[in-house]
Structure 1
Amino acid sequence: MKNKSIIFVFDLGRVLLNIDPIKCYECFLSLGISKEYESRLKELFQEYESGQLHESQLLDIVNEETNSSYDYEAFWCCWDQMIIGFIPEMIDRLERLKEDYTCVLLSNTNSRHQKVFEELFMNTFGYPMSEAFDALFYSHQMSCSKPSSEIYHMVENKIKVDNSRFYFFDDLKDNLNSANGLGWNIYHVTPDVTATLEYIELLIQEF
């Protein structure tokens, strides 16, 4: 039954898009960035995804802290290797869901990856990624990230429905728990795509 007041909220990585962070950090190792620096690098990328750092600022910090001079393109090429490809079964279901329900994207991401995956979406499916959703919420544009309650409140303020109407799909339990604490319905996405699709079908039957 068509009901645009029901809000499906999807994370991106490991929900709609296959990613491989290990491949990314292996590439950084090949550049000469030590394994010991990896945790610090992750901290910097979290700041980048919260809009606190720009690309050039992040690399300047890395170069200064490691006493190095990593090439800009080589460094960011490693970062891009995280993105593998969209999960076609999930995009197909998303397209059909959007006909009857409100579908939004809520992703911890960054300006560089946004360009990469939006171009990948266009090349794969033949239409802009923005048309696949009713709204796009990107952490770097919102200056905050999951699991902070602030980012969920920003979504709520934009999409004014009762919190019980949100159905949130994410692969990280911390993100889900934070949303659930605000009254959102949650589903923990695993690599089992069939299980996620079956859960969506069960939900629709209940509406």
Structure 2
Amino acid sequence: MIKNIIFDFGDIFINLDKQVVFKALKNTNVQEFLPKYHSINEDFEVGNISSMEFVALLRPDFPDLTKEEIINVWNSMLLDFPDHRLRFLEGLAKEKKYRLFLLSNTNAFHIPHVRQIMGAENYGRFKNSFEQFYLSHEIKLRKPNDEIFQFVLEQNNLSPEDTLFIDDTKENTDAAKKLGIKTWNLLVGKEDVVQLKERL
């Protein structure tokens, strides 16, 4: 029986355009998203490099972009947070039937931008709906590595078989499933997190 639910953030609650960064960089004459950009981004998402170090590593490839423009490109993937999802989450939290957790791969740019998109009050409502709010750049771990799931399970004394993990990235749900965690690989555009109770 499910007692605990771990939610991803992007494309589960807040809508994303994951291709917008690639499109924006192509407009600067960079024709492909090089492996080194993935590596730099992963280091940023686990807090191995600071915001300014992240920008400094990208600047040589994008000399025409200011620091602010690089930050704006990285934040441009963050779209809207539909209010019906926030109301759903708050309702779920008020029921107190499940322990709720957030587990997100994110970076130091994104969260302040999310607060700006949502407004401080709504962001507070969102964050306060969870027992724990885990952001990769703060805990220095990222999905799909086993360590991040083990961390959440151990920190909160959760049994994998009693835990459901919801994420839109199959690589992440596959990793959780190998540890015995129940999963829902949510299909963006076809499914919505508010349909959760139909799956429990």
Name the TM-score class by shorter chain: 0.7 to 0.9
Equivalent residue runs for 1:63-78 within 5 Å: 63-64=59-60, 66=61, 68=63, 70-78=65-73
Structure-2 residue corresponding to 1:36: 32
Match of 1:175 among 138, 162, 172: 172
Equivalent residue runs for 1:21-60 within 5 Å: 21-30=18-27, 32-60=28-56
Paired residue total: 198
Unaligned runs of at least 5 residues, structure 2: none
- Superposition deviation, residue 29 in structure 1: 2.9
Residues in 1 aligned to 2:189 and 2:69: alpha-carbon distance in whole angstroms: 34
1:145 aligns with 2:142: yes
Q: Write out the 4+ residue segments of structure 1 that deviate beyond 6 Å after TM superposition.
A: none
Q: Deviations over 1:10-57 (max 9, x none)?
A: 101111110112223322333x25023544323211211111121211
Residues in 2 aligned to 1:105 and 1:60: alpha-carbon distance in whole angstroms: 30
Aligned AA (1:59) = V
Equivalent residue runs for 1:1-207 within 5 Å: 6-30=3-27, 32-64=28-60, 66=61, 68=63, 70-99=65-94, 100=96, 101-122=98-119, 125=122, 127-192=124-189, 194=191, 196-203=193-200
Q: Deviations over 1:98-124 (max 9, x none)?
A: 122211110000011011113333358
- Change in Cα spacing, 1:39 to 1:105, as seen in structure 2 (3 Å) is same
Residues in 2 aligned to 1:129 and 1:196: alpha-carbon distance in whole angstroms: 14
For the 8 Å contact 1:118–1:129, the answer to whether it is kept is no
Q: How high is the TM-score relative to the length of structure 1?
A: 0.85
- Superposition deviation, residue 89 in structure 1: 2.9
Unaligned runs of at least 5 residues, structure 1: none
Residues in 1 aligned to 2:102 and 2:65: alpha-carbon distance in whole angstroms: 33
- Superposition deviation, residue 169 in structure 1: 0.4
Residues in 1 aligned to 2:44 and 2:184: alpha-carbon distance in whole angstroms: 27
Aligned AA (1:47) = D
- Superposition deviation, residue 59 in structure 1: 1.9
Aligned AA (2:14) = L
Q: How high is the TM-score relative to the length of structure 2?
A: 0.87
